[in-house]
Chain A
Amino acid sequence: MENSIILNPEKITADLYPKKFGKAGKIWTVILIAVCAIGLFAYIRQLNKGLVVTNMRDYVSWGIYISNFVFFVAISLVGSLITAIFRLANVEWSTPLTRIAEIIAVSAIVFASIIIIVDMGRPERFMNLFIYGRLQSPIIWDVVVISTYFFISLLLLYLPLMPDLKILNQDPSKNSRFLNHLYRIGGSFWKGTKEQLKINNKAVTTLCIIIIPVAFCIHTVTSWLFATTYRPGWDSTNFGAYFVSGAFLVGAGGVITAMYVFRKAYHLDKYITDLHFEKMGRIVVMLALLYLYFNVNEYLVPAFKMKKPEEEHLKELFTGSFAPMFWFAILVGMIIPIFILIFKRGRRPLPMFIAGVMIMVGAWFKRYLIVTPTLLHPFLPMHDVPESYKHYFPSWEEWAIAAGSLAGALLIMTFFVRIYPIIPIHETINEKNEMAEKK
């Protein structure tokens, strides 16, 4: 029904034009800045005093920071799903979602990179990774792949934005001086000529092709950071596919959450319709089932064998101290969303939003469970370490920095929405015209 509403280009432009923050938007932004500031303060403390302010010790040397890193890398994968796979598969209904997916990808990958530096005890040595990097090391593969993916995502955000910049440049009186300056730098040269469009379309298609293998690489390589290490829970040949499927799920969960929030905040009901939720809901169910399948593989097969070194790790997850978090992540991150979204009534905006939030929360804890319990149960326990080393709960600095990074990613998205149209104006107008012509 919503698609049949006739929208003229002026109306579309007016609806999708970036808008100033309302009261709620301002409060939201201030909260995010405050959380970021607390995170920054905690990081300065960590810089001054060293990683000793964290609760990471000899056993758990990858704690909440690396969990957060894996979460960010996972969520960033949605850019390749919505923008590239859907575009190449000619999925037309995905147009309003492409930019949402791309900005989620860019902001997530920015903070994935930042959080890795935060995890370094000596961040001033960061450049040594590039200077003295060892190509045999999965860490270096990750460095290469993340920087490549970041660059591709940035291009994939910018190139389809060019036609919209022309629209934003058309009436400078609508914008502040700063925004006019920004729009002029970014797109004053875009005239929308046939040649420009042709080059742009070709470039976007090339990026869509190239981003898919790079996206698969980024998360596969991240999984190999774990799988190439001989430890209970990580010693798996299944990890690449397991991580990629989980990444698609959390990314799709992030998109449906963002779809609901943007639709509500900017009254975009005519553009992000119930049909979009319905279709995304079906995709999310499929992805959740796929991820559940990989989880069954990951946990049930080792549990069936129950090899001695794996036993302690698995029992801790199933019935031990990590059991509440483990079952929470499985139920909230996969099973309940599947039950919500499998029914048509569940694929309406609000239940979808709830399912999206559940998927993301579940996914964050799932990453924590991938990282921490394994480190607490090495094949060879360490001798003569203080009892406190054998347990891990993040310090307030770690929580503050992790929360600050999540707020930072949201802040990038918030500012992006304030500056640029979150739904492509030019593409939407074109699509509506094509639909009108078909009729």
Chain B
Amino acid sequence: MTPLSEIYSINSKRFIQLAVVSACALVAAAVMAPDRAWSNLLIIAFYATTVSLGAALFLALTYVCGASWNVAFRRVPEAIAVGLFPFGLMLLGVLAMNYKLYEWHPHAEGDPGSLWFKEAWSSPPFWMARAALYLGIWFVLSRTIIGLSRRQDKSGSPRLTLANRRFSAMFLVVFAPTFALACCDWLMLLDPMWFSTIWGVYHFAGMVQATLSVMVLLAVSLRNRGPLAGIFSDDHLHDVGKLLLGFSCFWMYIWFSQYMLIWYTNMPEETSYYLLRTRGPWGPLMIANIVLNWVVPFFVLLPRPCKRSSSVMVRVAAVVLVGRWLDLYLMVFPATVGPTPVLGLAEISAAGLVIGLFGALFYRNFHKSPAVPNADPLLAESLHHHC
């Protein structure tokens, strides 16, 4: 068997190669169509930031519940959540590149006086400062939780678990409003006239779905390659699968709640969003979005044996991750790029870039601490987890 550090370095090297090649391709694509390249950057930066944030949320939720089942593979979400800092910076950079796009009322038409609040809310300095604030808060709290968890490896003190429970509660309380506002700031304002009060919940559902899928892929690959062999059991996989199934249904529920109210009331300022996205070539993509994010995970993950099979789970996770990308694509591209959907060098190289960066960062972070939180008081319970 190859030593662990070698596995990490081989993996990191491959991911870095992928990232470098993709970055070059993306630069070439940006020369041809800068708007399209920027939209892709926004999608991947938001994608990676929310997956990292979702991992922090998973940590916080399980700490607050006093859950033990996830302790055996907790280093996986921890290593994902560490990515919040680099990807958050990347997102800030992407937002700063094109902040003008988010300005309310950019063409000085109509009557700005009646919407003074929206005008002030989306003024660039305040808007950028808020973005930095949200990311800063998430970063500080998630890093505290991860830091205490790693410190426990050395000190072995059960008090650190209790301390983390308190920080996690704090994180959850802060996370809910900031995340809802952040999603509105970064994606809803692309269409400044349009609004949806369920936007934050919608993104919460999609984020958790994507995070769980990433966790499945990484935990299964770590189990196959050694570090989590005999630790990440089928029972753990089963429980993550149940969560994925549940959150897929939740995503569909929220997606439909947003769509149906707008369809029913049929008010012009609300329907504009869906008119653009359900007609012409966007229509089939809208259907594909539902198929990838709900139909496939729902029907495939319903039977118990499927949730316990790593090959099925890995495939479903990959489908959901593509679905999440399509979901974001449908939010961003009709607003920024144009009337017809495009898929080419820019989209593929952006996807390669984010996969490469994410993978390289993950393996680097995972390698930094023991693969299992070996002093956690709940570890024994987690290793004998049955479901």
Do chains A and B stick together as partners? no
Interface residues of chain B, those whose CB is within 8 Å of chain A, are none
